[in-house]
A and B are shown apart, each in its own frame.
Chain A
């Protein structure tokens, strides 16, 4: 562990003169493309970018015998060095702000800056989660108002707001299902998940103590209703279905699936990752869904932040609403006052709440952003957003299906994402090569090799916040790359050529993991 990798040339050291590089520089920098050393190679333990009083080491303390003896070895930087370090790092990232980010199933839409401004209002940002209720009426108001619109948009009965991300929301929904089944004395063991599901679905069901079984897909890329019906029985707790599904298709039989599951005594979980496609146009509650998480960081535009934080509220049917986890906000029927229900007052009114999934109240910072988004769009804007998302995806599908294989293209329109396979590429050329080629063309790659049911899958989700001009430029790039993949263009195998780094050796990273920085000498001894 933590052995020194032969990790190659490091920023801050001279580039060896013998390297085969066009127009070499000694620093490794290329004008605006600036290499940056690690914090641990830049900072010192004595440097500090914050002005604080000098500690009085002789002052009496109340730390008992636990005062720190060992140094932490945490380097610091002054403020200008800090700003430069992170600014240089930031420029090695692709981002929505720079261009199209068509990651299928991730919904990388524009993040409105008003949302950021609102989340930073002191009344939201500078409020403690355990302040007395009289001092947080506005926070409860945000939760109540956002809950109302989420319920209205999905046609459900209630919403659990505390889950911290999509997968946490899935877990919340599945635990509601399990609690409801246990409450009726009907412990069931199996959850059915389509092969095309996100990996989180089977992992969630397993984390909640269920056995997971696959449901096969039909030839049209949708759940095979007859196969599903045949598997239902008294051991099946429920199904987890993504709709629109991960092939970018609407599950036409959703209502029939729900009815069949309910008839067999099970409950229906819907993965709401793709809700952006149907927002304002169809309500999962009308299709018999019992629980669905909503990724506020997808559909409602809260920023992805380089991998979180997310937010995953779960809408619940009438059957599951009583089992929702703490805390939640309720409105007093008479006074209209908002009340916060926690462990201390859950008492008799909500006897079957299944417990608590996280400290405090969930992702308040995301609630303010999502509510701002909903109010900005309004009833007409939300409907237009899902319409434009689907329009953009279909435009890409029909602009590329003559040069790329679209496995379900014949079947009709797609929803918010277009799916292609690697069928027709020359021997040795892969989806990965096309993706890395896209990087050189200035686009973030699409989702690769997912869903698993399509060979060499390329799942393209443009979202509604892209203009036609951007899509046309993307089409031009993709058509060129498709041709190069069919022609077996070897230069594509070594792409990207213009990114801050060439292809990285992921196998080496996993074989000899180096997960923290160590001084070279220390590392050699280890």
Chain B
């Protein structure tokens, strides 16, 4: 087997040194009644690279890759062009096959990268401090809620209707097992982001108010207004961002009153990958709260020779030191995805991110104007960045399935995200990025015209 270097003579010599008759004899502590004496049931014997690659390629071909379709899906996972440099760097063995940097003298590469990553995220979000990343946006959001409860010692979690329903679902699930209780109302199919209704639900028991910016329907909520109202009640504001490219065009949540900013970083450097691995971003505006933060933190220090260096720090918050009193049970970060994000962000810089955001928005505006002209469709949003909700005069789920069969991945049906109806089933979330061309937009418009026209004809 190509991954196992020991030869039979090696094994013989080693067993002799150990004083064991066979490899099986080394498992003497396993009760004989439970020791398996043969190979795993049904699993074929080892296979060559060529054979395994062929099998996996066949499986992969049963998926419709985004590049092979006219593609308009978003809703928390975005398709952007990732420069070739990013994948090259993350495949360097010194990054790919390293462990968590617990031995800092021989992990300065990972540590300096994390320090740079933390700074990039803090600046993108308009925050004072960011951590070294979490699993993904949805889990970062729950960790922020837990942190807010620790800080405010309150239990009511107020979640705005514009938050990604998977993120809400994670919070509702986790809250069931904690003293916290989630107050969440489904979003209304309206052009405004529901700020009034959300503000009306704030009270003195509210620990935190969770607001997505831009929201699940692509609308941009008035974060500053929400934050002012929440702070008046003594609640903390958690801003959730699922599309970091948007922050190349929009004011940073940390500059609009958010106390904790969390989000999904996948857009920058990390591909779609059917939903994971992704990259949770986590940052705070008040540096005094840093000891309540979850997750790994990298900090600057100096070595015994007086040279600058970096280490993981403040680990007394973490499970391997604090055990059951830790701020979180998290034991990992999304290191390699953080590297991908950081490399892509370094290639972009402020100039590139601004230009990338402008191009996304320009194309999205073109698309909105064009799709508005499709009979039976109207754009819900007054404001948006690179995705908006198209409201059709029919249910969008079956339509999305039909169009997929014709090679158009038209977007994400709100009926899939919100199975409860109430008009949302007619909503289609359409996302445009720099990877779309004006021809793609025309393809989508024509496909919708065709499909809606067929409906009418029937």
Closest-CB distance, B9 to chain A (whole angstroms): 9
A166 to chain B, nearest CB (A): 7
6 nearest interchain CB pairs? A76-B349, A355-B173, A360-B275, A123-B60, A305-B336, A97-B93
Inter-chain CA distance A167–B134, complex, in Å, is 12
A117 at the interface (CB under 8 A from B): yes
Chain B residues near A46: list those with CB within 8 A: 349, 351
Is B276's CB under 8 angstroms from A138's CB?
Answer: no
A9 nearest CB neighbor, chain B only: B307
- Output the residue of A118, A359, A394 with the most chain B CB within 10 A: A359
- Taking the complex as formed, is B384 at the interface, i.e. its CB lies under 8 A from any CB of chain A? yes
A352 to B288, CA, bound (A): 41
Instruction: Enumerate A422-457 residues with CB–CB distance to B below 8 Å.
Output: 435-436, 439, 444-445, 450
Residue of B26, B71, B164, B287 with highest tally of chain A CB at under 10 A: B26
A92 and B112 contacting across the interface, CB-CB below 8 Å: yes
- Cβ of A399: which chain B residues have Cβ within 8 Å of it? 17
A92 & B108 in contact (Cβ 8 Å cutoff): yes
The reply to whether the CB of A325 lies closer than 8 angstroms to some CB of chain B is yes
Q: Contact: B314 with A255, CB < 8 Å?
A: no
Nearest B residue to A110 via CB reads B3
A310→B332 contact, CB < 8 A: yes
Can you identify 5 A-B contacts, CB atoms within 8 angstroms?
A124-B63, A124-B273, A152-B41, A357-B139, A376-B46
Q: How far is the CA of A290 from the CA of B450 in the complex (A)?
A: 53
Q: Which of B151-174 contact A (CB under 8 A)?
A: 164-167, 169-170, 172-174
B212 at the interface (CB under 8 A from A): no
Contact A98 B94 (CB under 8 A): yes
Chain A, residues 74-101, CB within 8 Å of chain B (1/0): the string is 1111010011011101111111111001
Tell me if A36 and B61 are in contact (CB < 8 A).
Answer: no
Chain B contacts of A130 at CB under 8 A?
73, 75, 77, 412, 416-417
A70 interface residue per 8 A CB criterion: yes
Chain A residues closer than 8 Å to B101, beta-carbon distance: 306-307
The answer, yes or no, to whether A238 is at the interface (CB within 8 Å) is no
Distance in angstroms from A188 CB to nearest chain B CB is: 13
Whether the Cβ atoms of A383 and B39 lie closer than 8 Å is: yes
| Residue B128 is within 8 A (CB to CB) of chain A in the complex | yes
Stretch at the interface among A204-212, A224-232, A328-336, A479-487: A204-212
Question: Is B83 in the interface zone, CB < 8 Å from A?
Answer: yes
Instruction: Answer whether residue B10 sits at the interface, using C-beta atoms and an 8 A cutoff.
Output: yes
| Contact A125 B271, beta carbon cutoff 8 Å | yes
When the two chains form their complex, are residues B313 and A510 in contact, meaning their CB atoms are under 8 A apart? yes
In the bound complex, residues from chain B placing their C-beta under 8 Å from that of A131 are 63-64, 73, 404, 409
Per-residue interface assignment for chain A, residues 463 to 483, with 1 indicating a CB less than 8 Å from any chain B CB and 0 otherwise: 011111000000000000000
Q: A25: CB under 8 A from chain B?
A: no
Establish whether residues B34 and A286, one from each chain, have CB atoms under 8 Å apart when the complex forms: yes
Min CB gap B83→A, angstroms: 6
Q: Look across to chain A and name the residue whose beta carbon is closest to the beta carbon of B110.
A: A306
Do B6 and A306 touch across chains, with their CB atoms under 8 A apart?
no
A5 to B354, alpha carbons, bound, how many Å?
Answer: 32
Taken together as a complex, chains A and B put the C-alpha atoms of A450 and B102 apart, in Å, by: 13
For B321, list chain A residues within 8 Å (CB).
Answer: 199
Q: Are B18 and A395 in contact (CB under 8 A)?
A: yes
Q: Which chain A residues lie closer than 8 Å to B27 at the CB level?
A: 250, 278, 281-282, 390, 413
Asked whether, in the complex, the Cβ of B60 is within 8 Å of the Cβ of A93, the reply is no
> With A8-B308, A56-B362, A501-B309 in contact, do A200 and B331 touch (Cβ < 8 Å)?
yes
Which of B113-121, B202-210, B439-447 interfaces with chain A?
A: B113-121
- A48-B349, A127-B64 known; A378+B43 contact, CB < 8 A: yes
Contact A304 B100 (CB under 8 A): yes
**Shortest CB–CB separation between residue A344 and chain B, in angstroms?**
4
**A249 to B30 alpha-carbon distance, docked (Å):** 10
Q: Is B197 in contact with chain A by the CB < 8 A criterion?
A: no
Given contacts A398-B17, A513-B314, 11 further A-B contacts (CB under 8 A): A55-B355, A64-B220, A82-B89, A123-B63, A152-B42, A252-B30, A306-B100, A342-B416, A356-B170, A361-B275, A517-B119
Closest to B62 in A: A138
What residues on A are CB-neighbors of B349 within 8 Å?
Answer: 43-49, 74-77
- Tell yes or no: B381 within 8 A of A by CB: yes
* CA A8 to CA B300, docked complex, whole Å: 10
Q: Which chain A positions have C-beta within 8 A of B362?
A: 55-56, 59
Centre residue among A66, A71, A96, A366 by max chain B CB count within 10 A: A66
Contact of B276 among A97, A134, A365 (CB under 8 A): A365
* Distance between Cα atoms of A388 and B330 in the complex (Å): 31
Contact present for B1 and A380 (CB under 8 Å): yes
Residues of B within 8 A of A439 (CB): 103, 105-106
Task: Give the interface size class of chain A.
Answer: 35 or more
Chain A's nearest CB lies how many Å from the CB of B428?
Answer: 12
Q: Are B277 and A101 in contact (CB under 8 A)?
A: no
Alpha-carbon distance between A363 and B276 when the two chains are bound, in angstroms: 4
| Contacting residue for A8 out of B26, B112, B302, CB 8 A | B302
- With both chains docked as a complex, state the minimum distance between the C-beta of B88 and any C-beta of chain A, in angstroms: 7
Distance in angstroms from A32 CB to nearest chain B CB is 13
B422 in the interface, Cβ–Cβ < 8 Å? no
Bound CA–CA A280/B359 (angstroms): 53
Q: Are A55 and B17 in contact (CB under 8 A)?
A: no
> How distant is the Cα of A11 from the Cα of B170 in the complex, in angstroms?
44
Among B122, B305, B368: residue with most chain A CB under 10 A: B305
Of the candidates B24, B34, B276, B325, the one whose C-beta lies within 8 Å of that of A360 is B276
Contact B336 A388, beta carbon cutoff 8 Å: no
Q: Given known contacts A121-B56, A360-B77, A439-B103, is B368 in contact with A62 (CB within 8 Å)?
A: yes
Confirm or deny: A184 has a beta carbon within 8 angstroms of a beta carbon on chain B. no
Which of A95, A413, A494 has a CB less than 8 Å from the CB of B29? A413
For the complex, what is the distance from the CA of A48 to the CA of B353, rounded to whole Å? 9
Minimum CB–CB distance from B458 to chain A (whole Å) comes to 21
Q: Would you give the shortest CB distance from B272 to chain A, in whole angstroms?
A: 5
B432 CB to nearest chain A CB (Å): 12
A7 touches B409 (CB 8 A): no
Pick the residue among A28, A122, A375 that contacts B65 (CB under 8 A). A122
Contact A309 B105 (CB under 8 A): no
Flag if B62 contacts A308 (CB, 8 Å).
no
B98 at the interface (CB under 8 A from A): yes
State how many angstroms separate the Cβ of B284 from the closest Cβ of chain A. 10
Check A138 against B59 for contact (C-beta < 8 Å).
Answer: yes
**Does chain B have a CB within 8 A of A343?**
yes
Contact: B313 with A95, CB < 8 Å? no
Are A2 and B93 within 8 A (Cβ)?
Answer: no
Instruction: Say whether A508 contacts B301, CB under 8 Å.
Output: yes
Which of A76, A398, A496, A504 has a CB less than 8 Å from the CB of B311? A504
Q: How far is the CA of A515 from the CA of B176 in the complex (A)?
A: 34
Interface presence of B346 (CB below 8 A)? yes
Q: Are B45 and A380 in contact (CB under 8 A)?
A: yes
Asked if A95 contacts B98 (CB within 8 A), the reply is yes
Which residues of B sit under 8 angstroms from A21, Cβ to Cβ? Answer: 305
A134 to chain B, nearest CB (A): 6
B252 interfacial by beta-carbon distance below 8 Å:
yes
Contacts of A36 in B (CB 8 A): 112
Q: CB-CB contacts of A5-23 with B at 8 A, as 1s and 0s?
A: 1111111000000010100
How many Å lie between the Cα of A8 and that of B307 in the bound state?
5
Is A305 within 8 A of B95, CB to CB? yes
Interface members, chain B 325-344 (any A CB < 8 Å)? 325-326, 328-337, 339, 343
Are A137 and B62 in contact, CB atoms less than 8 angstroms apart? yes
Q: How far is the CA of A67 from the CA of B107 in the complex (A)?
A: 39
- Give the residue name and chain of the A residue nearest to B22 (CB): A387
